[in-house]
Structure 1
Amino acid sequence: MRRGHRRGHPPRPRSGHPSGHRPGHPSGRRSGRRLGRPFGWLWAAYGTSALGTWLAFGAFELIAVRVLDAGPAEVAALAAVGAAVGAAVAVPLGPWVEFRRKRPVLIATDLVRCAALLTIPATFAAGVLTFLQLLLVSVVVAAADITFRAASGAYLKTLLPAEDLLVANARLESTAWTTTIVGPPLGGAAIGLLGPVVTVAADAVSYLLSALGIRATGGHEPPPIPRKAERIRARDLLEGWRYILADATLRPLFFNTALFNGLVMAAQPLLAVLMLGRLGFTPWQYGLAFAAPSIGGLLGSRLAPSLVTRFGRHRVLVASGVLRALWPVGLAFLGPGGAGLLLVMGVELGLIFCCGIFNPVQATCRLERTPADRVARTLSAWAVTTKASTALLTAVWGVLGTLLGPRAAIGLAGALLLATPLLLPRRRAAALPAAPEPAADPV
Structure 2
Amino acid sequence: MSQSDADGTDRDVIAEARAESERPGGLAGPVSEWRNDDRTGDTRVTDSGPTAPPRSLWRDRNFLTFWSGQAFSQFGSQIQELAIPVLAVLILNATELQVGMLSAAGVAAFLVVGLPAGAWIDRMRKRRVMIWADAVRAVALTALPLLWWLGALQMWHLYAVALIVGVATVFFDVSYQSIIPSLVRPAQIAEANGKLQATYEVANITGPGIGGWLIGIIAAPFAILTTVGTYLISFAALLFTRDDEPERAPEDRAPILHEIWEGLRFVFAEKLLRRIVGTTATSNFFNMVSTTMLPIFLLRELGLSPASMGVIFSLGAVGGLIGAVATPHIVRWLGEARSIPLSSIGFSVVAVFLPVAAMVPSIAFPLLVAQGFVGSFTVLWYNVTQVTFRQRITPPRLLGRMNASIRFVVWGVMPIAAVLSGALGTWLGVVATMWIGAVGQLLAALFVLIGPFWSMRDLPDTEAPSAR
Per the shorter chain, which TM-score range? Answer: 0.7 to 0.9
Partner SS for 2:394: coil
Cα distance in 2, alignment partners of residues 170 and 230 from structure 1: 33
> What is the one-letter code of the residue matched to 2:369?
M
Could you tell me how far 1:147 is from its partner in structure 2? 0.9
Q: Distance in 2 between matches of 1:197 and 1:58?
A: 11
Alpha-carbon offset, residue 56 of structure 1: 2.5
Unaligned runs of 5+ in 2: 1-8, 27-51
Q: Give CA-to-partner distance per residue, 1:59-113, whole Å, 9 cap, x none.
A: 3344456666765544432332343156413442221110112111111211221
Counterpart position of 1:267: 290
Change (3 A) 1:193 1:129: same
Aligned positions of 1:375-386 closer than 5 A: 375-386=399-410
Helix, strand or coil at the partner of 1:7 = coil
Match of 1:112 among 127, 132, 136: 136
RMSD: 3.7
**Amino acid aligned to 1:203:** T
SS in 2 for 1:117: helix
Q: Which residue of 2 aligns with 1:350?
A: 374
Whether 1:339 and 2:339 are equivalent positions in the alignment is no
Kept in 2, the 8 Å contact 1:56–1:196? The answer is no
Match of 2:246 in 1: 223
**Which of 9, 14, 17 pairs up with 1:5?**
14
- Quickly say closer, same or farther: Cα 1:349–1:175, change in 2 above 3 A: same
Residue 290 of structure 1 aligns with which residue?
A: 313
Quickly say closer, same or farther: Cα 1:187–1:253, change in 2 above 3 A: same
Match of 2:452 in 1: 426
Contact 2:215/2:306 (<8 A) preserved? no
Q: Is contact 2:267–2:273 with CA below 8 Å preserved after alignment?
A: yes
- What is the CA-CA distance between 1:347 and the residue it aligns to? 2.7
For the 8 Å contact 2:97–2:425, the answer to whether it is kept is no
User: Structure 1 residues 238, 124: closer, same or farther in 2, change over 3 A?
Assistant: farther
Structure 1 gaps, min length 5? 18-27, 437-443
**Corresponding residue number in structure 2 for 1:53:** 77
Alpha carbons 2:137, 2:164 under 8 Å: kept:
yes
In the alignment, is the contact (CA less than 8 A) between 1:45 and 1:209 conserved in 2?
yes
**What is the distance in 1 between the residues matched to 2:344 and 2:155?**
40
Instruction: Indicate if the aligned counterparts of 2:104 and 2:414 stay in contact, CA closer than 8 A.
Output: no
- Tell me how far apart the structure 2 counterparts of residues 302 and 103 of structure 1 sit (CA, whole Å): 28
Segment drifting more, 41-50 vs 154-163: 154-163
Question: Letter of the aligned partner of 2:16 in structure 1?
Answer: R
Answering whether residue 156 of structure 2 is matched by residue 156 of structure 1, we say no
Give the TM-score taking structure 1 as reference length: 0.83
Name the amino acid aligned to 1:112: V
Q: 1:406 to 1:213 in 2, by over 3 A?
A: same
Q: 1:368 matched to which residue of 2?
A: 392
- Aligned to 1:419, the other structure's residue is in SS state helix
Alpha-carbon distance in structure 1 between the residues aligned to 2:62 and 2:154: 41
Asked if 1 retains the 8 angstrom alpha-carbon contact of 2:211 and 2:310, the reply is no
Q: Which amino acid aligns with 1:391?
A: P
Residue correspondence of structure 1 range 90-239 to structure 2 within 5 A: 90-124=114-148, 129=153, 131-218=155-242, 220-228=243-251, 232-239=255-262
Matched residues in 1 for 2:267 and 2:131: separation? 27
Give the number of equivalent residue pairs. Answer: 427
SS at match of 1:379: helix
Please name the residue that 1:326 is paired with.
349
Contact preservation (8 Å) 2:327, 2:384: yes
Give, in whole Å, the separation in 2 of the partners of 1:277 and 1:55.
20
Question: Is the Cα contact below 8 Å between 1:370 and 1:435 reproduced in 2?
Answer: yes
Q: Which residue pairs with 1:23 in the alignment?
A: none
Distance 2:84 2:297 in 1: 23
Contact kept in structure 2, 1:29 and 1:305, CA below 8 Å? no
Q: Distance in 2 between matches of 1:286 and 1:197?
A: 17
Taking the aligned partners of 2:304 and 2:220, their CA distance within structure 1 comes to 23
**Equivalent residue number for residue 299 of structure 1:** 322
In structure 2, how many angstroms separate the alpha carbons of the residues matched to 1:35 and 1:246?
40
CA deviation after TM superposition for structure 1 residue 422, in Å: 2.4
Specify which of 424, 441, 444 is matched with residue 417 of structure 1: 441
Q: Say yes or no: does 1:81 pair with 2:105.
A: yes
Give the direction of change, closer, same or farther, for the CA distance of 1:59–1:271 in structure 2 (3 Å limit): closer
SS of alignment partner, residue 92 of structure 1: helix
Output one character per residue of 1:302-348: Cα deviation in whole Å (capped at 9) or x when no partner.
Answer: 11123334443223333222222221123343354553432332232
Alpha-carbon distance between aligned partners in 1 of 2:255 and 2:128, rounded to the nearest angstrom = 20
Q: Does the CA-based 8 Å contact 2:68-2:237 persist in structure 1?
A: yes
Which residue does 1:250 correspond to in 2? 273
Separation in 2, partners of 1:409, 1:72: 11
